[in-house]
C-alpha cells in the first residue's frame, strides 16, 4: 500500500543515539480500512480506497449512501476517505485494515496537508515584499508599488504578486525523514514540520523523489 490517512498531533523533540535533539512532528497514522478496490480494466487505474478510522465518528452522522458503501466492506463509520495507488503485486481486499506498520523500514515520506488559513493579507506578509521607507515624510509604506505599464499593454500581467487570500491550500512536504514508528499507538514521527494545524488531516506516502 502506498499510503495512509492520519492526523497531525503536534510537534515535539526527541534525542537520538548521539544525544542530539531532533525536532519532530508526531502523526497519528491509521488505522485505515480498505473500502473499495479500483481495477485497471473497470476504472482505468489501479488504486485502493481507504477510510480513516477515528474515535467519535457516529454511524448516525453518516448519510445513507455512505452507510451502504461502508456496509459492503464491513467498515465502521469514517469521516475521511482517500485513494492510494497500488504497486504491482499489492492485492488488498475490501475490509482489510492498514496500520502504521506498513511504514516500518521506510526511510522517508511525503506528507500532504492543508495549510493554516491566514485570511486576506497584503503583499508584505503574503509575498515578503520589503515595503517603502518608514520615515515621516514617506507616503509609501506597505503598498505593492507599480503593478504594470501605462499606455501599453494597459493591463496587469497574469501571475503578478498581489494582495489576496493567504493559506488554506493543499501543500506537500517532501522527503521527510522518518525518525520513529510506534506501532502500538499508531504514531509515526518525522523530522521537521508538516503543513496544517493540530488535529488536521494529512496523507502520508513513501517518498517519490529525494
Q: What is the pTM of this model?
A: 0.85
Q: How many domains does the chain have?
A: 1
Q: Let me know if residue 134 belongs to a domain.
A: no
Question: What is the extent of the structural domain holding 83?
Answer: 4-118+171-206
d(CA 98, CA 75): 12
Nearest to 166 by CA among 127, 201, 209: 127
d(CA 183, CA 2): 17
Q: Let me know if residue 146 belongs to a domain.
A: no
Question: What mean pLDDT, rounded, does the chain reach?
Answer: 92
Region of 10 on the Ramachandran plot (φ > 0 left; ψ -120 to 50 alpha; else beta): left
Q: Let me know if residue 47 belongs to a domain.
A: yes
210 pLDDT more than 70:
no
Q: pLDDT tens, 33-70?
A: 999 999 888 999 999 999 999 888 888 888 999 999 99
* Residue 26, domain CATH: 3.30.160.810
pLDDT for residue 118 = 96
Q: Let me know if residue 84 belongs to a domain.
A: yes
Q: pLDDT tens, 107-142?
A: 999 999 999 999 999 999 999 999 999 998 999 999
E strands, the chain, in order = 4-15, 21-29, 32-38, 47-52, 80-85, 97-98, 108-114, 119-121, 164-166, 170-182, 187-191, 201-206
206 pLDDT more than 80:
yes
Burial of 51 (0-12, 13-18, 19+ CB in 10 A): buried
For 91, the grid coordinates are 492485492
Q: Let me know if residue 8 belongs to a domain.
A: yes
1 pLDDT more than 70:
no
Question: For the chain, what percent of residues have pLDDT higher than 90?
Answer: 72
Question: How confident is the model over 62-80, as a mean pLDDT?
Answer: 91
Nearest to 70 by CA among 4, 60, 203, 45: 60
Q: pLDDT tens, 167-177?
A: 999 999 999 99
Q: Let me know if residue 184 belongs to a domain.
A: yes
Q: Let me know if residue 69 belongs to a domain.
A: yes
Which range has the worst mean pLDDT, 1-5, 20-24, 34-38?
A: 1-5
CB atoms within 10 A of CB 120: 9
The DSSP bridge partners found for residue 21 are 15
Q: Let me know if residue 200 belongs to a domain.
A: yes
Q: Residue 59: CB partners within 8 Å, gap ≥ 6? A: 67, 76, 77
Cα Rg of the chain, angstroms: 23
Question: How confident is the model over 130-157, as a mean pLDDT?
Answer: 91
Amino acid at each position: 500500500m502506498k499510503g495512509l490517512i492520519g492526523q497531525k498531533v503536534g510537534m515535539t523533540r526527541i534525542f537520538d543515539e548521539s544525544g542530539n535533539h531532533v525536532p519532530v512532528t508526531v502523526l497519528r497514522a491509521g488505522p485505515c480500512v480498505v473500502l473499495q478496490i479500483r481495477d485497471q480494466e473497470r476504472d482505468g487505474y489501479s488504486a485502493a480506497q481507504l477510510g480513516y478510522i477515528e474515535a467519535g465518528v457516529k454511524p448516525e452522522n453518516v448519510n445513507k449512501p455512505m452507510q451502504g458503501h461502508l456496509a459492503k466492506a464491513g467498515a465502521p463509520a469514517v469521516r475521511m476517505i482517500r485513494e492510494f495507488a497500488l504497486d504491482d503485486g499489492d492485492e488488498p481486499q475490501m475490509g482489510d485494515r492498514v496500520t502504521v506498520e506498513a511504514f516500518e523500514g521506510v526511510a522517508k515520506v511525503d506528507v500532504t496537508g492543508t495549510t493554516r488559513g491566514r485570511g486576506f493579507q497584503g503583499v508584505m506578509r503574503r509575498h515578503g515584499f520589503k515595503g517603502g521607507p518608514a520615515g515621516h515624510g514617506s507616503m509609501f509604506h506597505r503598498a505593492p508599488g507599480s503593478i504594470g505599464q501605462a499606455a501599453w499593454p494597459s493591463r496587469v500581467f497574469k501571475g503578478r504578486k498581489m494582495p489576496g487570500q493567504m493559506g488554506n491550500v493543499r501543500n506537500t512536504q517532501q522527503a521527510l525523514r522518518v525518525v520513529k514508528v510506534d506501532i502500538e499507538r499508531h504514531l509515526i514521527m518525522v523530522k521537521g514540520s508538516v503543513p496544517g494545524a493540530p488535529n488536521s488531516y494529512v496523507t502520508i506516502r513513501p517518498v517519490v523523489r529525494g
